[in-house]
Amino acid sequence: MDEEMKEKEFVNLENRIWKTYQSRIITATRLLNNSKLLDFYSTIYTICLTLLSVFTLINGDKLINYFSVFISIIVMGIVFYGNTMNYKDRYINMKDNYLKLGNMYYKCLNERINKNYDMEKIYEEYSNLLNTVENHSKYDYLSYRLNDINEKGKVPFLQKFIYWFRKTMLFILKIIIFVIPIFFVIVSFIRMI
């Protein structure tokens, strides 16, 4: 294999490593944000449940009791979901993985500068790193592409639309989940007055 062809293949591998590295940074950030969001929701719902319990003791209204039961079920669901998703541990593993991928990328740059293309060794190391943690999602990869100067123009309109639609719907869902317990507390407080 001639030198030019070797370099071209090596650059392709280097680009794959870079894209995986960037996508996994986005995945790690998403996992950490999900962990923080679950903690936040758990706190908000627990505070609202406590308030509803106090209102029930003071007033004894059946509607407030129903709200309390509903919020209790949601709190239990949030805690159960948070434990099964294991976001914090997944974040730590993903972060460790992307740091190793980053080191590998800079090792590739060094090898290219020195014209030392040890493709087999780097590909084997890359494959091993891919298998150590879960893969990043298509959404995370698309997020990388939409935020990368070189990739942004290559993303089809439909994928951009789906990305922004999903992002908007998730934002609206987060707001609704935040507002529900506060709404129940306000309605319960008004019923007590």
Tell me what pLDDT residue 134 has.
96
Interval 151-162: pLDDT, tens: 999 999 999 999
Q: Are the C-beta atoms of residues 15 and 66 closer than 8 Å to each other? A: no
Model pLDDT, residue 159: 96
- Crossing angle for the helix pair 62-85 and 157-192, nearest 10 degrees? 140
Domain chopping of the chain, boundaries: 3-192
Q: Are 118 and 10 in contact (CB under 8 A)?
A: no
pLDDT for the residue numbered 1: 55
Contact at 8 Å (CB) between 24 and 157? no
Residue 140 pLDDT: 97
Q: In tens digits, what is the pLDDT along the chain, a chain of 193 residues?
A: 577 888 889 999 999 999 999 999 999 999 999 999 999 999 999 999 999 999 999 988 899 999 999 999 999 999 999 889 999 999 999 999 999 999 999 999 998 888 888 888 999 999 999 999 999 999 999 999 999 999 999 999 999 999 999 999 999 999 999 999 999 999 999 988 8
Structure tokens given for 44 = 């908000």
pLDDT at 52: 94
* Digit-coded pLDDT (tens) for 98-117: 999 999 999 999 988 888 88
Considering only CA atoms, give the Rg of the chain. Answer: 24
* The model scores a pTM over 0.75: yes
